[in-house]
């Protein structure tokens, strides 16, 4: 019996595999397009931020009034590829997906600042399970609609920092009795670490945990090249209140 040459069989399998991948990519693209059409619009995002601030007696702080050290600290610890992705950190998402599959739990982690923003403003704080695809699509839509600076400013003004402080304006006042533009590296990096778990890192109730988080924020800033190790060491040693006893 005459059989096809091995090279011909290999080419056939490669062709079939390439066709399958192309079909999957087309289905994924179609799904994204349909998802963008059926998910709610995000044009009202700034209004939602202002409404959230008003509900908590807070006022908007412009990004120009926020020190660079605070923006850099927040990006370093929460979303280090903020300026490279378009709402979805594919690299981080893939890593989190593998970890979640290994541990057999629901998809967790890898949330970008845009995802966290839509979670708070559009998903009522819930992006687990079946709401995760909506979270991803809204984050993509948000980045298509608004520039990074607007997204960053909106996040800083809408996120909860713990101890009743909503937005960076209230957080600066509650914890340090100063305006955001007066924050130095030590205080800015401390505040940047709070949104991940405001109740656990509450500076008044759990200062030791907050100090550990502060160390991690500064270390990540060094890793990402925002500050030197010497600057991180100085900021960590600076007495800013809330000692760990």
Find the distance separating the first CA and the last CA of the chain, reported in whole Å. Answer: 83
184-197 tens-digit pLDDT: 999 999 999 999 99
| Structure confidence at residue 22 (pLDDT) | 57
Give the number of other Cβ atoms within 10 Å of residue 188's Cβ.
Answer: 26
At which residue do the structure tokens 């290999």 appear? 10
Axis crossing angle, helix 113-122 with helix 45-55, rounded to the nearest 10: 70
57-101 tens-digit pLDDT: 999 999 999 999 999 999 999 999 999 999 888 876 656 555 555
Tokens describing residue 183? 């924050």
Half-sphere exposure of 120 (CA within 13 A, CB side): 25
Half-sphere exposure of 151 (CA within 13 A, CB side): 27
Is 66:216 a contact under the CB 8 Å cutoff?
no
In order of start, what are the domains of the chain with their CATH numbers? 63-237 (1.10.3810.10)
């Amino acid at each position: 019996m005459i059989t096809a040459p091995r090279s011909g069989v290999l080419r056939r399998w490669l062709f079939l595999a390439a066709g399958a991948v192309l079909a999957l990519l087309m289905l994924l693209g179609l799904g994204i397009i349909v998802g963008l059409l059926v998910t709610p619009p995000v044009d009202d995002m700034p209004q939602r931020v202002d409404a959230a601030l008003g509900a908590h007696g807070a006022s908007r702080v412009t990004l120009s009034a926020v020190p660079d050290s605070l923006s850099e600290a927040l990006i370093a610890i929460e979303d280090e590829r903020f300026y490279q992705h378009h709402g979805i950190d594919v690299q981080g998402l893939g890593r989190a997906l593998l970890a979640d599959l290994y541990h057999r739990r629901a998809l967790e982690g890898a949330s970008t600042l845009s995802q966290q923003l839509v979670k708070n403003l559009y998903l009522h704080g819930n992006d687990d399970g079946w709401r995760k695809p909506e979270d991803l699509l809204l984050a993509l839509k948000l980045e298509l609609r608004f520039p990074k600076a607007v997204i960053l400013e909106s996040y800083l003004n809408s996120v909860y920092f713990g101890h009743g402080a909503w937005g960076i304006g209230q957080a600066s006042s509650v914890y340090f009795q100063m305006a955001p533009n007066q924050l130095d590296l030590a205080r800015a990096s401390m505040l940047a670490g709070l949104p991940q778990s405001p109740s656990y890192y509450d500076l008044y109730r759990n200062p030791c945990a907050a100090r550990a988080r502060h160390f991690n924020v500064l270390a990540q800033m060094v890793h990402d090249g925002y500050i030197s190790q010497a600057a991180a060491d100085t900021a960590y040693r600076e007495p800013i209140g809330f000692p760990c006893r």
